[in-house]
Amino acid sequence: MGSLAARFFRSCVYVFGGVVLLIWAVELLCRYWWVLALAGVVALLVAVWRWYRQRW
């Protein structure tokens, strides 16, 4: 099982890693929001085109 100190240290490492990844993801999102918007528009156009093609 491991000692209490080892479990505490491991949980601190997990929390720290999660916070770092979250900050990194938010920073990338803010920097490259236009890429996500463009990908969303393309996905929407493809979905509408496929739906329209399926109807006819």
Which run of H or E residues covers position 53? helix 33-55
Spell 17-47 as b/e; 16+ CB within 10 A means b: eeeeeeeeeeeeeeeeeeeeeeeeeeeeeee
Q: Residue 1's pLDDT is what?
A: 56
pTM of the model: 0.53
Tens digit of each residue's pLDDT, the chain (56 residues): 579 888 999 999 999 999 999 999 999 989 999 998 999 999 999 999 999 999 87
One-letter-per-residue 3-state SS of 17-47:
HHHHHHHHHHHHHHHCHHHHHHHHHHHHHHH
Helical packing angle, 33-55 and 4-31, nearest 10°: 70
Q: Residue 16's pLDDT is what?
A: 93
Q: Residue 55's pLDDT is what?
A: 84
